[in-house]
Structures are given as structure tokens and as C-alpha cells.
Structure 1
Amino acid sequence: MVRRGRAEADRGATSAAPAVLGSEIAAAADGGSAARGWLRLGRDGRLTAYASCAEGLVRWTESAPGSDLWQGPELFPVEGWTGRFTLAQDSNGFVWFAGTRYRDGAPGGRETVIATQYQTGRPLGDWRAVGNAFPERRQADGGQGEPREQQEQPLPPPGDTMVVPDGAGSLHILATRFGVGVRGRTRGADGKWGNWADYQGKWVRGAVVPLVTAQGRAEFLAPFKGGASYWGQDRPGSDFRWLGRMKADAVEGTYSSYETGAGTGTYFWRHPADGGVIAYRPQAPAGSVPALLPLGGAGGAGPVAVTRTHINGYDCTVLLQRGADGCPEIAAYPTEGEQYGTWWAPVGDRCAGLPAIALDARGSVTIAMIDMDGGLLIARQDLTDPGLAFGPWCRVG
């Protein structure tokens, strides 16, 4: 593998942006506002990277498939933006965003909003409020005098809202709050929104961890201290139903997921003992390799980024993490062959927030990071090398 420092990075052309924007982007990413899976491949073969800053959503876009010339950073302001967002991509290539904004009159002073990017490089659609999964409740207390309204004991703030498009054209909004549970609302393929559904999990910690298979069936884990509940659809478009639970210690906020077999997802998180990565397959057949498997990466932070590619002719799962020293580190192993172990290698200098990974239009593994100045750096797999080697980092925005 190739490691390149910032001083060695090539510089691609980029559009002009306010000088203050870079520092805001870096601060937001390092403050935990980087969305998982923030590097995405569009249907036209161009990659897009997404970030946050104080004013709203930020975007960089390849000028052509596989190019080191990018457009951006472009700012899409959102009034009342809180800084945190999540995203997902459906089978049509549409990218869906969920975020939170402050608004007078909204329950608790904030509301969940969603928006859509229908084509690579095109403007986002309007941000639309989708209601509040956890409206503040009030109760009457008569006592010895007149009834009066009093606020219930305040609850911890909700976890990040996840937006999950399934293969039947339905869009699911999944929200969590410790002490209340998991609630979801679905917009059907006909465009009509249903009511909020309760998926239990009163002691849920952090956001749910969704996964949508290539067949379009959606599922998710709802983490709690010491384990997680597992929910899924029987088929795309159907309601979620409880499928079981698993027991395992995990560092809160470190879950990620990826489809590693036909209709089978693998979930990853960090063990609290050393921060090492754990893999788990809820649908692993009985008698197969044990469900909880260590993958190294001790000392890393946050969720790992995941993709799959062929290396030396073998189907491999590739993991990317922010290592103990704040630099990107990468590992690969035969898909669903965690028992063979992994070796982590550094692939860049210190980054702000979490690095991201995706396949580009050529099928080249592409890794992205935001540097400490708020710039976007890209490194691509060298396809002439039979292993997993990377070319130099290119600063594209």
C-alpha cells in the first residue's frame, strides 16, 4: 500500500469557495457531524462527497467519471441547520438526506427534515419537515389546587434520524430516543405518509443501523447497552417486524453495515475493551463460523467504512477506519472470511472526522478524507497492481 503526506498530494482544479468554509467543514467533521457513507457513486459514473458546516450541507462532485477535477465545495444553506445529517442512496441513484433544524414552534424547538438529490451535480430539492417522532408530552397535576400543566422529566436528545429507501419505492424515516424507543414513519410508493409506528427498544442508544439488500429488502439493528434488537422486512415494501436480538458489548455510535452475501448483511462495531472491530451476521446459518468475529483495528475511532471488490481474483471486503493517531487505515479480507484475520495499514495523514470509501466508475476502490484545513483529498486504487495498492492523494477541493 502507498502512503502519501499532504505535501506530496497532487492538486486538482476546484471551484472557488469562501476561505472560512474550509475551517467550518473541518470543525464540523472533527466534531462528529460527518455522515457515514459520505462518498457516493451516481448513475452517471461520477462520485460525490458530502459534508456539513455551520450554514448547511456541503458538496463536491467529480467533473467526469474518474477525474481528478472536481466541482466544489458547494454550499446548500439550510435555515436553522443543527449541523448533523445522515444520507442514503436508492436503486435509482437518488440520494436522500435527513437532518435536523431549529424552528420556533416545533416540539423541543427542532424538527426533522429531509431532502433529495435526484441527479449527480444537480441542486437538492426542498427540505421538507416530516413531523416529530417524539413530541413533548405534558400532564395534568391537580394536587390540592387547580389542575396545572407541567413538563415531564426531560429526556436525552434523540439520536440521528436515518432515512432508508427500500426496493419497492417506500421511504422509511427511523428515529430513536433513549427512554422511549425506536419509531418510524413510511412514505409509500404512492407518495402518502403513514403514521408513526413504534418499534419498541426503550433503552436504545444512538441511531439505528440500517441495511438495504440488493433485492431492496430493508432491515436494521437497534442498539442498546449490551446488545441490539434486529428488525427487518419480509420483502421490499412490507412492514418491519422483530426478528430477534443479539448480546454483545459495543462502543456506542460505532456501528456500520454492508451486504456481504445475497440478501445477507454483516454489521460491524467496536468492542469497548480495545476499540477493535467486530463483525456480526444476524442471518448466519447454524453451525457456521461463530457470529461474533474480531477484525483488529484496535484504537480506531467511530464506525468503519465498508465496500467490496475483487483482489487477486477473490471477492474481498475492504474496511476503512480513522486509526488511533487520527490517520486513515485500511484492511481487506475474503468476504465473510473473517476467521482469516486482517492487517491494517495506514494510507494517509491525519484527517478531520471519518474517512469514506466507494468504488468509482472503473471499479477502483476510492478513499476520501477531509484534511485539517477542510479540503477534500482523494486516493484511488492502482488497478495495475494485483493487490490493494493506492496512488498518491490528490487534493480536489
Structure 2
Amino acid sequence: MEADRGVTSSAPAVPGSEIAAAADGGSAARSWLRLGRDGRLTAYASCADGLVRWTESAPGSDIWQGPELFPVEGWAGRFTLAQDSNGFVWFAGTRHREGAPGGRELIVATQYQTGRPLGDWRAVGNPFPERKREQGHAAERGQTRGQDQDQAQGQEQAGAESGAPLPPPGDPIVLPDGTGALHILSTRFGVGARGRTRRADGAWANWADYQGKWVRGAVVPLVTAQGRAEFLVTFRGGASYWGQDMPGSDFRWLGRMKADAVEGTYSAYETGPGTGTYFWRHPADGGVIAYRPQAPAGVSPALMPLGGAGGVGPVDVARTRIDGYDCTVLLQRGAEGYPEIAAYPTEGEQYGTWWAPVGDRCAGLPAISPDARGAVTIAMIDMDGGLLIARQDRTDPGLAFGPWCRVG
């Protein structure tokens, strides 16, 4: 594993136009607003040169530090992030490097404490180094367990086997489980999903194959409060479901679901002890769909509509108490580019939702997180590349917010 030196120090100034352009170009990570163990929120974005960060100066403060730039040589522009039980924030991205297989390699970095510099970006390799060899292996795996969806993709199969170049890999996903292990997952259409695990002792395993030859987009990760990790490998018309039996165990195939979804609109959140709910958009109208693979005994999983028609991209999700009730809060970028919010009793999708606009036009996806006091905080990047936040006003009934404040 190779470490980059001298690329993690921050620079003080980042042009807002670059941040806005990257966010509106689809480079904004999902769930890019995070609460640290010290009670401070941090917001993350991307620009042409690397990772950008804003940090609360104190818990609940409207004075933030940033934007700070953490440059990365060869930065491909997109990243994903996850937070483990210790509060560490893990990042995964892709960089271009001469001599790497296909000229690309996956990289990971860690922020161990709020406001502190990132650790070194480390290369973890490329799970899809050679197109011809991968096509041959994929064909041999075509009828393996969990891939009966491949039979429905005849036209796509013909295209992939005609010798046409494969599309580039999907965004790498970083997934920490409760044992201290870190899983890096990536996908490539025509090949499948692959992952590599760094154990708690720091040793890296080889790449593992999670099938899904006709996978579309990145895998959809979730880790429960107990530290058990799971993910979906999505394809046109559904997804394969993989998960651990317990934190630290190998991933195993848990089944398959059939559902139409807009590519790139999946997100996930733990809505009950050890139970995750997955969200995506239906292609008919862009409305949000919720689905729980682990339905109660004797109950078949169902697709549950939640409104939000016309919205774009994945929703961001949080849980909070509203008028004494445990509620799930959804935040989306609406059809006109404005943040829109909805809430409903957790796992009570049958009660329906009502979506309301909560701000001006934003660049990229808005984000949501509870703050140090448990108040829901929403964040957006405006069209000038500035960071704006609004906090829940808990003195009002229902889900009400105070005014937007530009903090960076």
C-alpha cells in the first residue's frame, strides 16, 4: 500500500465558483454534513484540486472555519465518505496516476478528529485492471448465484461482449464496520462489484468478488449501530443484497429485490435496531420509494411511496424527535433546484409525507445532520459556492427552522 506525502496540508482559499461547479456537476458526496465526537459539525465538498472542508468553531456556533482545501495530486473530482463508531471520518476517491492499472487507482484517507488535518491518502489498488481478462471472467460467472438478473439484460450483454470499451468504474465506497475493519467497494458495468477489506490489525485482504455483472452505479452501503455492515449491488430492475451475519464476518449474499429505480438515487439509513431502510426514486415521476429488506417475520418486504415527485438525486436522511415522536426526516433537491424537506414517524411510511421547500436554489445535493443539541441542521452550497446552514427551531411545534446563515 502506497502513501502520499505532502498532499494533506490545507490551503486557506478556495474559489467558490469551483466548489459550486463541482457540486452542481454531481461531485457532491452523499451525507456530506457530519457531527464529530466533540459536538462540532463539519461539511465536506469537492473542487478540481481536492477535498474542501468547513468546520464549526464550537458546537452549535454560526461561526465556521473554512473553506479549507486539502489538495490531492491527480484528483478525479468525486469522493464518498463514512463515519465509524469512534467518530473517524473515512474518505474514498479515485486519482489518475501514470503507471497505475488503467491509469487510475482507488485512494482512502481518514480524519481522526474534527478540524484536524487529514491523514495521508493511501492507494489501495484497482479492482478492474484489464478489460479483456475481466470480460472473460465475467462471462464465466454469468450464471452464478444472485445474477439471474443478467438474463434480463440481453441487449446490454451483447454490447459489452462486442468489444466496446467498458464504462469507467463507479465511485468507490468506504464502509467501516464495528470491529475496526474498513471495506472498500467498487463496481464496473460488465464486470461486477468487488471489495477489499483492511482488518483491524492493518492488514489488507485480496479483492473479493460480489458478482452483479450488470451493476449500475456505486454500491449502496449501510452500517448499523451494532457495527454490522451491509450493502446493495444495484442493477436495472433491482438489486442484490449483501451483508454480514455479525460485525467482522465476511459478506454473504442475502437475496435479491426487484424494483425500478432511477440510477444513482439510492441512499440508506438505520431506522430500527439492526434494520436498514433503503430509499431511491421511481423512474415514473422521480418520487421517493422506501424499502426494508429485513421485514418482520411473516411480513413480505414492500415498496413504500413517500412522495417527493420531481426531485433529483438521492435523499439525505436523519432521525429526530418531533413533538415527542421518533421521526425520519428526508431532505432532497427538488425539481426547481431548491432544498425540500419531509418527515414521518419512523418506519411509518403508511402515514405519508408532505414536502416543503426550505431554502433558495442550491448547487448539488443538500445535506442533513443532528447537531450537538440534537437539533436537525440542514446545509447547502449556494450558487456562489458558499456554505449555508439552517437549524431546527425546537421552540416551535412540528419541524420548523430558523433563518439560513451563510457560514463560509
TM over 0.5: yes
Aligned length: 371
Residues 46 and 360 in structure 1, CA contact (< 8 A), matched pair in contact too: yes
The alpha carbon displacement at 1:30 in A equals: 0.1
Residues 30 and 352 in structure 1, CA contact (< 8 A), matched pair in contact too: yes
Residues 162 and 174 in structure 1, CA contact (< 8 A), matched pair in contact too: yes
The alpha carbon displacement at 1:389 in A equals: 0.2
CA RMSD of aligned residues (A): 1.5
> 1:29 aligned to 2:23?
yes
The alpha carbon displacement at 1:154 in A equals: 2.1
| Alignment partner of 2:197 out of 171, 180, 186 | 186
For structure 2, the 5+ residue unaligned runs are 1-9, 134-162
In structure 2, relative to structure 1, the CA distance for the partners of 1:229 and 1:16 (3 Å cut) is: closer
| Alignment partner of 2:369 out of 358, 380, 391 | 358
> 1:259 aligned to 2:253?
no
> 1:63 aligned to 2:57?
yes
The residue identity in structure 2 corresponding to 1:240 is F
TM (norm. structure 2) is 0.89
**What residue in structure 2 maps to residue 325 of structure 1?**
336
Q: Distance in 2 between matches of 1:164 and 1:290?
A: 25
| Alignment partner of 1:277 out of 288, 301, 312 | 288
Q: Residues 274-331 of structure 1: CA distance to partner in whole angstroms, max 9, x if unpaired?
A: 0000000000124548520000000000000000001011100000000011000000
Q: Residues 150-191 of structure 1: CA distance to partner in whole angstroms, max 9, x if unpaired?
A: xx6421110010000000110000010010001000000111
The alpha carbon displacement at 1:357 in A equals: 0.1
Which structure is richer in relative contact order (CA contacts within 8 A, separation 6 or more)?
Answer: 1
> 1:337 aligned to 2:338?
no
**What residue in structure 2 maps to residue 381 of structure 1?**
392
1:173-212 to 2 correspondences below 5 Å: 173-212=184-223
Partner SS for 2:17: helix
**What residue in structure 2 maps to residue 222 of structure 1?**
233
| Alignment partner of 2:108 out of 110, 114, 118 | 114
| Alignment partner of 1:161 out of 154, 157, 172 | 172
The alpha carbon displacement at 1:386 in A equals: 2.3
> 1:79 aligned to 2:90?
no
Q: Distance in 2 between matches of 1:116 and 1:66?
A: 24
> 1:44 aligned to 2:38?
yes
Q: Residues 328-356 of structure 1: CA distance to partner in whole angstroms, max 9, x if unpaired?
A: 00000000000000000000000000000
The alpha carbon displacement at 1:107 in A equals: 1.4
Residues 209 and 257 in structure 1, CA contact (< 8 A), matched pair in contact too: yes
**What residue in structure 1 maps to residue 118 of structure 2?**
124
**What residue in structure 2 maps to residue 99 of structure 1?**
93
Moved over 6 A (4+): none
Residues 379 and 394 in structure 1, CA contact (< 8 A), matched pair in contact too: yes
The residue identity in structure 1 corresponding to 2:22 is A
**What residue in structure 2 maps to residue 10 of structure 1?**
none
Q: Distance in 2 between matches of 1:242 and 1:266?
A: 18
| Alignment partner of 1:310 out of 321, 345, 356 | 321
Q: Distance in 1 between matches of 2:40 and 2:323?
A: 26
The alpha carbon displacement at 1:108 in A equals: 1.4
Q: Residues 343-374 of structure 1: CA distance to partner in whole angstroms, max 9, x if unpaired?
A: 00000000000000000000000000000000
> 1:213 aligned to 2:207?
no
Q: Distance in 1 between matches of 2:164 and 2:109?
A: 33
The alpha carbon displacement at 1:21 in A equals: 1.3
Residues 45 and 360 in structure 1, CA contact (< 8 A), matched pair in contact too: yes
Residues 131 and 166 in structure 2, CA contact (< 8 A), matched pair in contact too: no
Q: Distance in 1 between matches of 2:126 and 2:93?
A: 12
Q: Distance in 1 between matches of 2:19 and 2:384?
A: 8
TM (norm. structure 1) is 0.91
The residue identity in structure 1 corresponding to 2:333 is R
**What residue in structure 1 maps to residue 136 of structure 2?**
none
Q: Residues 50-80 of structure 1: CA distance to partner in whole angstroms, max 9, x if unpaired?
A: 0000010000000000000000000000001
For structure 1, the 5+ residue unaligned runs are 1-14, 140-151
Q: Distance in 2 between matches of 1:101 and 1:343?
A: 41
The alpha carbon displacement at 1:125 in A equals: 0.5
1:124-163 to 2 correspondences below 5 Å: 124-137=118-131, 153-163=164-174
Residues 16 and 72 in structure 1, CA contact (< 8 A), matched pair in contact too: no
Q: Residues 207-256 of structure 1: CA distance to partner in whole angstroms, max 9, x if unpaired?
A: 00000000000000110000000000000000000000000000000000
Q: Distance in 1 between matches of 2:334 and 2:66?
A: 27
The alpha carbon displacement at 1:383 in A equals: 1.1
The alpha carbon displacement at 1:86 in A equals: 0.3
Fraction of identical pairs, as percent: 87
Q: Distance in 1 between matches of 2:126 and 2:179?
A: 25
Q: Distance in 2 between matches of 1:138 and 1:213?
A: 38
The residue identity in structure 2 corresponding to 1:121 is G
Q: Distance in 2 between matches of 1:105 and 1:234?
A: 39
